[in-house]
Structure 1
């Protein structure tokens, strides 16, 4: 057999062996890039909390979780939300969102919600699961839920808040030794973008010393244009020479939507001011940080070496003060 024939025979043999290998192991010719593709990975890029439906006793907290995906497809993904009382540590509500498969890279927002009572604050724990295995957890603190206005009382009309112009102004129309006729003017502002519907104004004249209601009045507040302020005036008659709290409230379909207070000082020997206001509560959302108790204290300042006494008063303490007094006495005796 010459050299050329031998080479052709060897090439034919290689082809036959290759064909048999492909039939026996079809995966041998798979694209190696598929084997080197990164496995699927999910991480939480961010969480947004916003108020949803607000009812009388409870409120809905809407949760938007931004999931960032890379690599191959991730199957059987679920997101679980737990609302836990900040003070009690008790589970208030729990919901699970079935996401399914996540593919294509980039970010995807998964929407969910929990229902909580309109009181106190909460920790919202968000956990991401893949095939039932937890892959990441995030915690968000929500406070001031009581400040959320129920949907039935949500209106942009309220009493005017001014530094100089009074919200409630009282003037005397007529007076004698027994009674006084008062004119009460109340300012109402529309902070919305559309004209308001008519609402009711109710006034109570409450005698300061006894809290007895001396008189009351009702007036209708007509439609107020956006950004405008209207003044509504009512007339009441009360016993003279007493001081009164003027309790004013705005009502819409028997729902209290705003309230304020003024005074009427008719006693020339004594005056009163409005009742003390309650501290305002605001709805807030922030990332959760572990509160670790250590020697630095809550604000991070070192409490160990500032020379403070046990009651927290800055100083050197009674022992150091006594030493200073003895040193001063000895020095005075040594002086000629």
Structure 2
């Protein structure tokens, strides 16, 4: 009897202790519906796109958009590593890491990373996706011609025309003198934008084709060119006769070069040049391009004619006599 009572009291004590432990320490008794730790859902790189951001004279910012696809359970500690590698040298140019955090919704999440690179050449952009510091996916995309991305001060809707009917640079002979010719120069500009173009000027530079000597230089104001309009800018220049010239026209806005064009003026009737023609050597008189009328002409040196004599080796009279005596002696010896 006492033994049964003792066993009953012990069983009741065990139950009481278990109930107290379950109340004080949650989780001591396993939940039969618990399947264990939650496995994070899969993530991968759905796509990469590159856009041009802010540009300066030396650098340009590439805006890298990475779309991350997530499915299933929440995924924690997601991050993206983006780096730009020089396409020509293969050297790493810059690296940027972005912490995405936790992804819980199904679908794509877009992230943007900015990389500032030199404004030249091209780059291979590599995107690496991490989950809990473990690489889970990666993608690569290339961009070329970064130098074509212009900073704001180089951007313009106005440029020289590119047409045979309206050549960008043309000229006409206004006056011909004994030593110099005056040319009327014309540059044709088109504003392809939606707003008027202002503060423009055109610099004309005439260079002798074979020597590259600058014969004339002048700058004229281009005024205001309305949207969608084509206008001409006129100037005049005086250059020496009997030479061929390249006419370089430079479009400027507040001292910044916006566009350039080239024409050719053939004032030498015996030789002609074109914009893309190979140069040839011609007689050049530098004094024609000097400022003023000064300049000494090359001196000619006169030389008086002189007479020269020359002799060639041969048999003189003395040698002939000696030979005759030797022949007589030989004949007498044979006769004896």
TM-score by length of 2: 0.71
Aligned residue runs from structure 1 range 1-336, under 5 A: 25=29, 27-29=31-33, 39-275=40-276
How far apart are residue 146 of structure 1 and its match?
2.1
Query: How far 1:104 moved relative to its partner?
Result: 1.4
Q: How many angstroms apart in 2 are the aligned matches of 1:163 and 1:53?
A: 36
**How far off is 1:235 after superposition?**
0.9
Q: Is the 8 A contact 1:38 1:71 kept in 2?
A: no
Deviation at 1:236, TM superposition (A): 0.9
List gaps (5 residues or longer) in structure 2: 1-14, 279-336
Offset at 1:36?
A: 11
| Alignment partners' CA distance in 2, 1:66 and 1:276 | 52
Equivalent in the alignment of 2:7? none
Q: Describe the shift of the 1:253–1:55 C-alpha distance in structure 2 as closer, same or farther (beyond 3 A).
A: same
In the other structure, the counterpart of 1:304 is: none
Secondary structure of the equivalent of 1:197?
A: strand
Corresponding residue number in structure 1 for 2:287: none
Flag the 1:140–1:276 CA change in 2: closer, same or farther, 3 A. Answer: farther
CA offset digits 1:299-335 (Å, max 9, x no partner)? xxxxxxxxxxxxxxxxxxxxxxxxxxxxxxxxxxxxx
Question: Residues of 1 paired with 2:52 and 2:195: CA distance?
Answer: 23
Larger Rg computed on CA atoms: 2
1:168-206: per-residue Cα shift (whole Å, max 9, x none)? Answer: 111111112211111111111112121112211111011
Greater shift in the superposed pair: 191-200 or 238-247: 191-200
Q: CA deviation at 1:166?
A: 0.9
Would you say the 8 A contact 2:251–2:258 is kept in 1?
yes
Q: Any unmatched runs of 5+ in structure 1? A: 1-15, 278-336
- Are residues 45 and 215 of structure 1, via their aligned partners in 2, closer, same or farther at CA, if it must alter by over 3 Å? same
Give the distance between the partners of 1:125 and 1:42, measured in 2 at CA: 17
> Which is worse superposed, 38-47 or 245-254?
38-47
Q: Shift in Å at residue 150 of structure 1?
A: 2.6
CA contact (8 A) 2:83 2:93 kept: yes
| C-alpha RMSD of the superposition | 2.5
Report how far residue 29 of structure 1 moved. Answer: 4.8
Aligned residues: 257
Looking at structure 1, the residues matched to 125 and 207 of structure 2 have their Cα atoms a distance apart, in angstroms, of 44
Quote how far apart the aligned CAs of 1:276 are: 7.0
Answer whether contact 2:40 2:76 (CA < 8 A) is retained: no
